[in-house]
Structure 1
Amino acid sequence: MAKIVAVLYDDPIDGYPTTYARNDCPQPEVYPDGQTLPNPKAIDFEPGQLLGSVSGELGLRKYLEENGHELVVTSSKDGPNNVLDQELHDAEIIISQPFWPAYMTAERIAKAKNLKMIVTAGIGSDHTDLQAAAERDITVAEVTYSNSNAVAEHVVMSTLALVRNFIPSHDIARNGGWNIADCVSRSYDLEAMTVGTVAAGRIGLRVLRLLKPFGVKLHYMDRHRLPKKIEQELDLTYHSSLESLSKVCDVVTLNCPLHPETEHMVNAESLKHFKRGAYLINTARGKLCDKDAIAAALESGHLAGYAGDVWFPQPAPQDHPWRSMPHHGMTPHISGTSLSAQARYAAGTREILECYFEGRPIRDEYLVVQGGALAGVGAHSYSNGNATSGSEDAANFQPA
């Protein structure tokens, strides 16, 4: 019997849903690059259900308990006497999501003597100390591609919300106003602007494809250059550095993983190269940016807007400067956990667990660490080291 601890976000304030807004939840047949969707032997949920919160349990309880395993589900992960730390000592598998991450630091990994696998239900395993996991020969896996397109849609939505000044205009309508001049004094057309993505992997490339019909000029940087066929198809301009990209772009969107090489890549110094009035979109990881530098750039007017839904740590303390800075479009990390995406990453988590318990290989595209080293998608996207330092500040979060 194995003990599995799943750290999931809290249920809705008004209680777990008994009904939903829609009767169905359309799903793609295949991902854009040909990768197949998660394919477990079975699922014990209906796509479209809320699976990512505590009561949803990722649809795993029936499967795990029928096979003799113990499942502990909690949202308590930070601060003294949290449930995760109390359950670590004999846990074999830890599951969490990027939206409410269980920060698996070297200290926690050292306490978890029976730990064999850490699973990210979604994409992005930077909340795990990958170096410490490798040294302990702990497998780290994530459900690659399960919510990539959902995040890309959020990037496009955030871009338009900033450029068109949608959020303040919506607030004026909600508050009974009709001052059109206030609404449009910061509103522009996205058409003819120059948009650049930092990283053109699954999410970044999807963003480029979604934005192409808007009549924008598209730029990208990535340590893995795209095939010439794709560059020609989308009329892409390649950059080898953030400085080169940011100097020419009206909108910069960050779509790269967080690891020691990318931590705080956007800082007071690198922001000097951004065009005055540029917009920055970050749905990747909050720690890609120096939080104080972003707030200062918005206060000074050097940046016209900042949007995204990733923070560091998560949940972010009430005094986090991104909550109160001007001209922002932040959300509490929801981009990759739509009900549509939950169906995919819950099924992918089930697939990973089935492979683990049955002794079958986990898909290479799901692997981040295995056999004491970066593996699979991890070897392509991450670098050795640790990006969890400072995560203890998540304990300072107090709900408003």
Structure 2
Amino acid sequence: MKVVYVSYPPSDTADADVPASADNALGLRPWIESQGHTLVTTSDTGDELDRELTDAEVLITTPFWPVYLDEDRLKKAENLRLVLTAGIGSDHTDPEAAKARGVTVAEVTGSNVVSVAEHNVLQILALVRNFVPAHTEAREGGWDVAKIAAHSHDLEGKTVGIVGLGAIGARTALRLRGFDVRMLYYANHRRTAGEEASLGVRYARLDTLVAESDVVCLALPLMEGSQALFGPERLKAMKQGAWLVNTARGAIVDRDALVEALESGHLAGYAGDTWYPQPAPADHPWRSLPEGSEAMTIHCSGMTLEAQDRIAEGVHEMLAAHFDGTPMPDDFVVVDPSA
């Protein structure tokens, strides 16, 4: 059986040898080969990958270096039976096309929940406290305290709206409780009164949340209904001077409408580590947002070393089930063609 693993290339920095890179493949190679199977690793998501997929049975792809699997590509991969996302979020695979072709899609549910929740708090604080311009001032030899202080705020007393209150949204709320903020949330499924009390959140309609929040944090999957959920009108409906944080998926926010909202000064700032497409091209407009209005990172929020260990464990468990012909854990399966 042939397994293809696609991820980012190893760094040219000597001490940046990390488990999830294409060369290391989550440390899976010795075990896969000991089972009599073949592992091919690559960072290519174009023609080279298509050639490898022609006879591959399993594809492992990372959400931060995704393989976009549409119907045409799946047709070419005639032997493909399993697509594993080494992380959370399988929106890069067309679920209907996968199901029609008998391809199971699964991901490592819960593997990077803690890591992304911590990153949410990090980026909220980076925006509200005007951290990036202050850091730039320090590195460039300046000492213009007035310039930095003019756009720096306390988080305490602000209203934070969390869109999506699944595992990541809930853990973000728990971590924000200590900042004495007012928290609203919107989700397709409302939490129980007890859960709301323990998380310190209050349910609100999306329009109400957007209108009242000083900070909006997106923690929902990319799915039908969330594509460009924050488009021109919804961005305009946000409070003047509000901040937006998006570690969910880049395509949930309208790319060009966001640029306009920041350039006009309607929004004070945007932070996130998810882009569309990924990897983001060098000329992506979010790479050159107005100075002082962003705290962007590359898609690394869920890739702490601890998260990579959890991802490796989950991928190993799913591959073992596939090799043995036994069912995978239900909570890992995103598309089950037999259902």
Category of TM-score, reference length = shorter chain: over 0.9
Q: Would you say the 8 A contact 2:89–2:107 is kept in 1?
A: yes
RMSD, aligned CA: 1.2
Query: How much has 1:90 moved relative to structure 2?
Result: 0.6
Name the CA distance, whole Å, in 2 between partners of 1:301 and 1:310. Answer: 22
Name the CA distance, whole Å, in 2 between partners of 1:146 and 1:140. Answer: 16
1:361 is matched with 327
Query: How much has 1:15 moved relative to structure 2?
Result: 4.2
Q: Would you say the 8 A contact 1:77–1:84 is kept in 2?
A: yes
Give the counterpart of 2:297 among 320, 331, 339.
331
In the superposition, relative to structure 1, how do residues 17 and 221 fare at CA in structure 2: closer, same or farther (>3 Å)? closer
**Where in structure 2 are the equivalents of 1:282-293 lying within 5 Å?**
282-293=246-257
1:312-350 CA-partner distances (Å, limit 9, x unpaired): 000111221101112111111000011111011011100
Name the CA distance, whole Å, in 2 between partners of 1:295 and 1:264. Answer: 14
The amino acid across from 2:204 in the alignment is H
Secondary structure in 1 aligned to 2:54?
helix
Query: How much has 1:371 moved relative to structure 2?
Result: 2.4
Secondary structure in 2 aligned to 1:279?
strand
The amino acid across from 2:304 in the alignment is S
- Please tell me whether residue 57 in structure 1 is matched to residue 57 in structure 2: no
Q: Would you say the 8 A contact 2:86–2:315 is kept in 1?
A: yes
**Where in structure 2 are the equivalents of 1:1-400 lying within 5 Å?**
2-15=1-14, 17=16, 50-78=18-46, 81=47, 83-240=48-205, 242-326=206-290, 327-372=293-338
Q: Would you say the 8 A contact 1:218–1:234 is kept in 2?
A: no
Name the CA distance, whole Å, in 2 between partners of 1:154 and 1:269. Answer: 27
Query: How much has 1:17 moved relative to structure 2?
Result: 4.3
1:182-225 CA-partner distances (Å, limit 9, x unpaired): 11111000000000111000000000000001000011000011
1:383 is matched with none
Name the CA distance, whole Å, in 2 between partners of 1:300 and 1:58. Answer: 44
Secondary structure in 2 aligned to 1:85?
helix
The amino acid across from 2:73 in the alignment is R
Q: Would you say the 8 A contact 2:106–2:332 is kept in 1?
A: yes
The amino acid across from 1:54 in the alignment is A
Overall identity of the aligned pairs, in %: 49
TM-score w.r.t. length of structure 1: 0.83
The amino acid across from 2:255 in the alignment is K
The amino acid across from 2:122 in the alignment is M
Name the CA distance, whole Å, in 1 between partners of 2:329 and 2:75. Answer: 27
Q: Would you say the 8 A contact 1:136–1:372 is kept in 2?
A: no
1:356-394 CA-partner distances (Å, limit 9, x unpaired): 111221111101000255xxxxxxxxxxxxxxxxxxxxx
Name the CA distance, whole Å, in 1 between partners of 2:101 and 2:246. Answer: 32
Name the CA distance, whole Å, in 1 between partners of 2:289 and 2:15. Answer: 32
Q: Would you say the 8 A contact 1:109–1:132 is kept in 2?
A: yes
Name the CA distance, whole Å, in 1 between partners of 2:275 and 2:12. Answer: 21
Q: Would you say the 8 A contact 2:100–2:337 is kept in 1?
A: no
Query: How much has 1:237 moved relative to structure 2?
Result: 1.5
Secondary structure in 1 aligned to 2:135?
helix
Name the CA distance, whole Å, in 2 between partners of 1:156 and 1:16. Answer: 27
Q: Would you say the 8 A contact 2:236–2:261 is kept in 1?
A: no
Greater RCO (Cα-Cα under 8 Å, separation 6 or more):
1
In structure 1, stretches of 5+ residues that fail to align are 19-49, 374-400
Q: Would you say the 8 A contact 2:69–2:94 is kept in 1?
A: yes
Name the CA distance, whole Å, in 2 between partners of 1:53 and 1:282. Answer: 24
Name the CA distance, whole Å, in 2 between partners of 1:232 and 1:57. Answer: 42
Q: Would you say the 8 A contact 1:280–1:305 is kept in 2?
A: yes
The amino acid across from 1:339 in the alignment is L
Secondary structure in 2 aligned to 1:272?
helix
TM-score w.r.t. length of structure 2: 0.97
Query: How much has 1:16 moved relative to structure 2?
Result: 6.2
Name the CA distance, whole Å, in 2 between partners of 1:115 and 1:76. Answer: 18
Name the CA distance, whole Å, in 2 between partners of 1:234 and 1:147. Answer: 19
Name the CA distance, whole Å, in 1 between partners of 2:255 and 2:63. Answer: 19
Name the CA distance, whole Å, in 1 between partners of 2:279 and 2:226. Answer: 21
